[in-house]
Amino acid sequence: MTQTSIGPAVRRTIFDAFVFAYVAFALYALATNPTEEMLLDLERNAALAGSLALVGAAASLAFNKSGCRTLGEVLFAPAHKRQAAGEPKAWFKTFWGQQAVVTTLVTLVAGLIVTEFSLVALLDRERISQASKLLGQLFNPGWAILPTVVLHMVQTVYMAFVATAIAVPIAFALSFLSAKNIMRSSAAGLATYTILRVIFNVSRSIEPIIWAIIFALWVGFGPFAGMLALMIQSIASLAKQYSEYVEGVDEGPIEGIRSTGATMLQTVWFAIVPQVTLPYISYTIYRWDTNVRMATIIGFVGGGGIGKLLIEYQLQGAWPEVGCILLVVAFVVWVMDAFSAYVREAIK
């Protein structure tokens, strides 16, 4: 049995309603060129979008009933209804094809306006020369500060390493508690599973840069705050990935170990752990590598390490020094990436 409780017809209607409301609203905004005051009137806009969605839903039902397949129908129709009635048409001659083209075009036009796309600014001669001067300075690095840069880079790599090292045992323990195949046997287990999954998803969706700000206020600016931020992110991310490996294990060995009269912990250790060790190691190395890259950004907001140095020189406009830092960061990231790929290939 599938887990989806919403029928395909409902999903189709919701999708069509959303797309219609979006296109109609964007066209309306493009046509009337509204003032900022109008754009900020959330209540009025929400009401407008809501009623447009209702119109869209009605239109979706009407079109599909009359045999004209909408985009939502094409996307969500169950497999047995996929056979098109009658002669197949080229996709751009179908209703859903045209619907897709109109939606894409409207999005592109609206997008160019919203991002203030300007060919004039892009091709302005004076501005080009300013930017190229900056680029020139960046590519003419100030090697004098190299020893300081290396020192800060070492700090960053250690930040990433300690964050990963602390996160691994915690995530390891949590991964079994958040694996559905282990926890589904009892109501308490299922509750634990659900709560942990929610916590992981929430803490993963908060960017480490936000965690860094929180921890900088808590423990003071510096590498410790940065390390804590990376650690929180790593625990959630490792635990989620680990638990997916646990959910993918072969059930046979579990049954084999259970049949000997082994306890729950023994079953996990003997039947599951041997199956997940290699993928765990592989993903952990990848995570360390990711943490080194993130540690750079985290330094920007008071997390210490190379990021702190980078933001200091950037605020002074010391572009050759910034160039030196960027090159060192690029080099270390490249080495880490190659190292992690090499190790992961070797243990596969």
Partner 1 sequence: MSARVSNPETILSVRDLEKTYPNGVRALKGVSFDVKRGEFLVIIGLSGSGKSTMLRCLNRLHDPTGGRILFKGRDVTGIEGQGVLELRSRIGMIFQHFNLIPRHTVIGNVLSGALSRTSTLKSVLGLWSREDREKAMRYLRLVGIGDKAYYRAAQLSGGQQQRVAIARALTQSPDVLLADEPVASLDPATCHTVMDYLKKVNQELGLTIICNLHFLSLVRQYATRVIALKGGEVVYEGDPNSIDDAWFQRIYGEGAKEVHIN
Cβ-based nearer residue to partner 1, 124 or 255: 255
User: Angle between the 273-298 and 146-177 helix axes, to the nearest 10 degrees?
Assistant: 140
Rg of the Cα atoms in the chain: 27
Q: How far is the CB of 165 from partner 1 (least distance, A)?
A: 21
- The answer to whether 48 touches 25, Cβ cutoff 8 Å, is yes
Q: Give the footprint of partner 1 on residues 255-294 (CB under 8 A).
A: 255-263, 265-266, 269-271, 274-275, 277
Q: How far is the CB of 277 from partner 1 (least distance, A)?
A: 8
Cβ-based nearer residue to partner 1, 7 or 256: 256
Please say whether the dihedral angle defined by the alpha carbons of residues 117, 123, 126 and 127, taken in this order, is positive or negative: positive
Q: How far is the CB of 158 from partner 1 (least distance, A)?
A: 31
Q: How far is the CB of 41 from partner 1 (least distance, A)?
A: 53
Give the binding-site size for partner 1 (rule: CB under 8 A): 20
Binding partner 1 by CB under 8 A: which of 199, 253, 312, 320? 253
Q: C-alpha angle with apex 175: 240 to 202, nearest 5 degrees?
A: 40
Site string for partner 1, 194-233 (x = CB under 8 A): ----------------------------------------
Q: Tokens 């634990």 label which residue? A: 192
Of 103-111, 130-138, 189-197, 249-257, the segment contacting partner 1 by CB under 8 A is 249-257
Closest CA to 284 of 180, 169, 202: 169
* DSSP for residue 227: H
Q: How far is the CB of 276 from partner 1 (least distance, A)?
A: 11
Cβ-based nearer residue to partner 1, 270 or 300: 270
Cβ-based nearer residue to partner 1, 79 or 265: 265
Q: How far is CA 140 from CA 133, 144, 315, in A?
A: 11, 12, 18
Phi, psi of 28 (to 5 degrees): -60, -45
Cβ-based nearer residue to partner 1, 34 or 253: 253
Q: How far is the CB of 259 from partner 1 (least distance, A)?
A: 4
Cβ-based nearer residue to partner 1, 181 or 275: 275
Binding partner 1 by CB under 8 A: which of 252, 345, 346, 348? 252
The C-alpha atoms of residue 162 and residue 20 are separated, in whole angstroms, by 50
The C-alpha atoms of residue 252 and residue 331 are separated, in whole angstroms, by 45
Q: How far is the CB of 14 from partner 1 (least distance, A)?
A: 30
Q: C-alpha angle with apex 283: 254 to 257, nearest 5 degrees?
A: 10
Of 15-23, 68-76, 252-260, 328-336, the segment contacting partner 1 by CB under 8 A is 252-260
Q: How far is the CB of 266 from partner 1 (least distance, A)?
A: 5
Q: How far is the CB of 177 from partner 1 (least distance, A)?
A: 17
When asked if residue 104 is in the footprint of partner 1 (CB under 8 A), the reply is no
Query: What is the separation of C-alpha 284 from the centre of its chain, rounded to a whole number of angstroms?
Result: 18
The C-alpha atoms of residue 249 and residue 99 are separated, in whole angstroms, by 43
Cβ-based nearer residue to partner 1, 4 or 259: 259
Count the helix, strand and coil residues of the chain and give each as a percent rounded to the nearest 5. 80, 0, 20
Closest CA to 211 of 233, 239, 234: 233
Q: Which residues have C-beta within 8 Å of that of residue 181, sequence separation ≥ 6?
A: 246, 247, 249, 251
Q: Give the footprint of partner 1 on residues 1-60 (CB under 8 A).
A: 1
Cβ-based nearer residue to partner 1, 28 or 269: 269
* DSSP for residue 84: P
The length of the chain in residues reads 348
Cβ-based nearer residue to partner 1, 147 or 261: 261
Which spans of this chain sit near partner 1 (rule: CB under 8 A)? 1, 252-253, 255-263, 265-266, 269-271, 274-275, 277
